[in-house]
Structure 1
């Protein structure tokens, strides 16, 4: 089984937000750009030549404060989109992407972010 670990920026928490759609879109595009910068600077592994068809994902958040599990899952949407957009995984549908469990978290105020481990399923 092949694995890839990515250290990504912390995605926004919009699960309890009433922000305007344009504000959300602007922040999502900024998140994607930040991830693209990491890839361009070779600070994260480049994607495989062909996106993985079946993948198990494990997520670990480094946060300012403890978050509830549903908010952690909601924060995973943008990173999942990045994984598809950059070609790490085929799609974020359940047929292609499965979670190893609920994302874990720790308080690390000096080093906010998201660590993702992808495991290719043969």
Structure 2
């Protein structure tokens, strides 16, 4: 799942910004002015190996920053002033977890509801059907 996100972000950067992004992760370490990195790679190889000074830090699936203590520690140790976290499921209902996310990334600055995304045609409207069946169990 994380490798898919790495390449999905890279593809979107190419398409929207028209530039070739750097990749850090999945056996790549190629930094460019815009670089997509896997947090696992930064944790295993060390964030101090980053050569460029980046102005902005973005966490996709940011709810994971509180799930593992190492992710949280990495988040608070990076020097970037501008931080953005993206998540479709930001709060996992674990007491205090939202404070760790906010500590690593910052407060929520924009929120949108699923209903609004459905109206704007960014999400499909879910349909549920109950299907009965006979069982001899």
Greater share of residues in helix: 2
Alignment TM-score > 0.5, same fold: no
| Higher percent of residues as strand | 1
Tell me the TM-score normalized by structure 1: 0.29
TM-score, normalised to structure 2's length? 0.27
Larger Rg: 2
Q: Which has the higher contact order (CA 8 A, sep 6+)?
A: 1
